[in-house]
Chain A
Amino acid sequence: MAEFLQLLINGLAVGCIYGLVALGFVLIYKAGEVVNFAQGELVMLGAFAAFTFVVQFGLNYWVGLVLAMAAMAVFGGLLDMVVVRRIVGQPQFSTVMLTIGIGVVMRSGAAMVWGPETRSLPTPFDATTFHFGGVVLSAVYLAILATTVLLGLLLFCFFRFTRMGVAMQAASQNQLAAYCMGIPVKRVLSGVWALSAVVATIAGVMLAPISLVDTNLGAVGLKAFAAAVIGGFGSVPGAVLGGILLGLIDLFSGVYLPQGFKDTAGYIVLLAVLVVCPQGLFGAVGRKKV
């Protein structure tokens, strides 16, 4: 029982990270219908940015975190303004190839700047653990859960109550109508990219104590992609729930299923979900009408 609870907590925490990365995907997809295959690389760059500010520059953890988020926001916004914006209206295959290309460039760029070694990012909660009747709770995992809940609330308030948030919602529902209502759609889309990069940075920083920082951190993007698809690609709560589901599947299949299922169980569930309900569990995307 204790083992079960332990796995549950850890799975929830890992799932929250998947969910946050998936959230970044969904934000970008909802706004501009660009499927961002470089989201995992944004997570990696975010972690490296935090590493640079905190370890290499020796800043306070929280100051470094805020600086990393700001730097990544600028990077995400610029990425949209300089590159991604140019392929609006091209077939979906072009956007897929473009973002795959951007991801490869980012990964090799990171390998050139920071080197191929594995780094660790010390956090203020590293060593602390709590014991509850046989269940060992690491402070890192609790912090991840708390951050996800907090970030979810913040994003909800942002989309509900701020002008920019409402403009983003409008632009993602109908670009033309939003444009006619005086919303600067291009700038709003760049804003969505910046926001998505910030979310990716937070996910990267939370992932750092669990899996260390190196250029393969971007692989989390694939898991998150699966999470986003399970949740239905157009749905923000769906993405987080899909991520949590995937995190739980990952940890439980690693312990209770035969060897070899740890890496594939998530994908098998993904295929099963797609067969049963092709639009994902929470998807509201119907067929295009003429």
Chain B
Amino acid sequence: MRIIFKTRYDQDINLAPHGGVVFWYSLLAIALVAAPLIVAPFYVGEVSFLFIWSLAGLSLMVLTGYAGLISIGHAAFIGIGAYVHTYLIRRGVPFAPSLLLAGLAATVAGVVIAVPAIRMRGLYLAIATLAFSAIAQEVFVRWEVLTGGSRGVAVPKPQFFGRTIESETGFYYLCLSILVVCILGVLNLLRAPTGRAWIALRDSEIAAQSMGVYLAGYKVLAFAFSAFLAGIAGGLFAHKVGYLTPDIFTPILSIQLLMLVMVGGIGSIHGAIFGAIFLVLLPTVIALLRDYLPAAIAQQPALEPGIYGLILVFVVLLEPQGLNGLWRKIKFFFSQFPMYKSATFKRQKTYMRTERLQ
């Protein structure tokens, strides 16, 4: 068991609370940098997909997990990022400014949807984002100059100073570095007053307002920041898939992202990564599983969404903290080893809480 002796107030918000964290993350960093040298190119490509999912999950995690605002339309932000980035890069804009502009375009969309959202709460907000994504998808189909309509548009390979990144390995390092920068940015934002205000308004709007948190401003900020990250994820995603069509950015993508956040563990950066690993691995696992199931079930095309839905239901019912909660329990078990009590994580009995005026 480790006891952290705090001698300065700053220690409360240190990114790494103790040396062990630094050690393990350094090890992870070395492994990630060295991985493409050892692993086959196919898996390198899959892992860069994982990084993009993580980035998209991170953006929804900030909005839903930390600011407590539900978005069922995140696919729209990713789509805007992807299309703007593709359009700019086809017009010869260099990679980095193009990606930033894509993020900013998504940010503008985020602010546009957030301004009505200031006055709405949970449910109304969710449906407003859903409506927004339905409209955005129709715009993707109709605005042919920008998006190529339903025929789609090809995405060129990313270029740096005239050199094209052709290999999977180059793209892997590109995604990895952007993801790391974004995670560090989010971590820093979350330990700053902004992040604390988000968490406060997530836990209780009334209490947050009483403490002087400007609700409307922080909600718009959460939307803007989340949309920016989603736009960047969209730009990278465009390169990864190579060809954009409007039917990529359906509500199904939004729901997959929500599932990523929920299964990974709401309200944790680890959760976004765990959720992305889960989403990338699950289709493979299901494909393997099909061999062991009776033919009548294994041949069903509806098997995969069914398993997704079942997992979602069981996570909500049994482990609301998701994979991250599971990971923390395992860690706790080993750190407390002979003294572990299962009652530590026993869930409290909950009662109906009303959102309504009585």
A residues sitting closer than 8 Å to B (CB atoms) are: 32-33, 35, 83, 86-94, 96-98, 100-105, 107-109, 111-112, 116, 174-175, 215, 222, 225-226, 229, 233-234, 259-260, 263-264, 267-268, 270-271, 274-275, 278-280, 285-290
Contact = CB atoms under 8 A, between A and B. Distances in A.
B135 A264 contact: yes
Nearest to A30: B356
Nearest to B251: A222
Given A112-B302, A278-B119, A288-B206, A102 B309 contact: yes
A104 B306 contact: yes
A100 B351 CA distance: 22
Which 9 pairs of residues, A with B, have the shortest CB-CB distance? A89-B350, A104-B309, A101-B312, A108-B306, A111-B302, A105-B309, A108-B302, A267-B131, A101-B313
B350 A90 contact: yes
Interface residues of B, number: 53
Given A96-B123, A275-B116, 15 more contacts: A33-B356, A86-B317, A89-B352, A92-B70, A92-B123, A94-B320, A101-B311, A101-B312, A104-B255, A104-B309, A104-B312, A108-B300, A116-B301, A274-B120, A279-B124
B141 interface: yes
Contacts of A104: 255, 305-306, 308-309, 312
B40 interface: no
Interface of B: 64, 68, 70, 72, 116, 119-120, 122-124, 126-128, 130-132, 134-135, 138, 141-142, 206, 255, 258-259, 262, 266, 297, 300-306, 308-313, 316-317, 320, 350-358
Given A98-B316, A100-B312, A112 B70 contact: no
17 contacts: A33-B356, A35-B123, A86-B317, A92-B122, A92-B123, A98-B317, A102-B313, A107-B309, A111-B301, A112-B306, A226-B127, A229-B127, A271-B116, A271-B128, A279-B124, A285-B357, A286-B357
Nearest to A98: B316
Given A103-B309, A107-B305, A87 B357 contact: no
A226 B120 contact: no
Contacts of B309: 100-105, 107-108
Contact of B258 (A100, A111, A222): A100
Given A88-B352, A89-B352, A108-B302, A271 B317 contact: no
A156 B305 CA distance: 39
Contacts of B266: 93
Contacts of B312: 97-98, 100-101, 104
A288 to B, nearest CB: 6
Nearest to A233: B123
Contact of A94 (B130, B306, B316): B316
B7 to A, nearest CB: 36
B211 to A, nearest CB: 13
A132 to B, nearest CB: 36
Nearest to B130: A222
Contact of A271 (B132, B352, B353, B354): B132
Contact of B120 (A93, A222, A278): A278
B218 to A, nearest CB: 18
A92 B72 CA distance: 14
Nearest to B311: A101
B131 A226 contact: yes
A116 B299 CA distance: 13
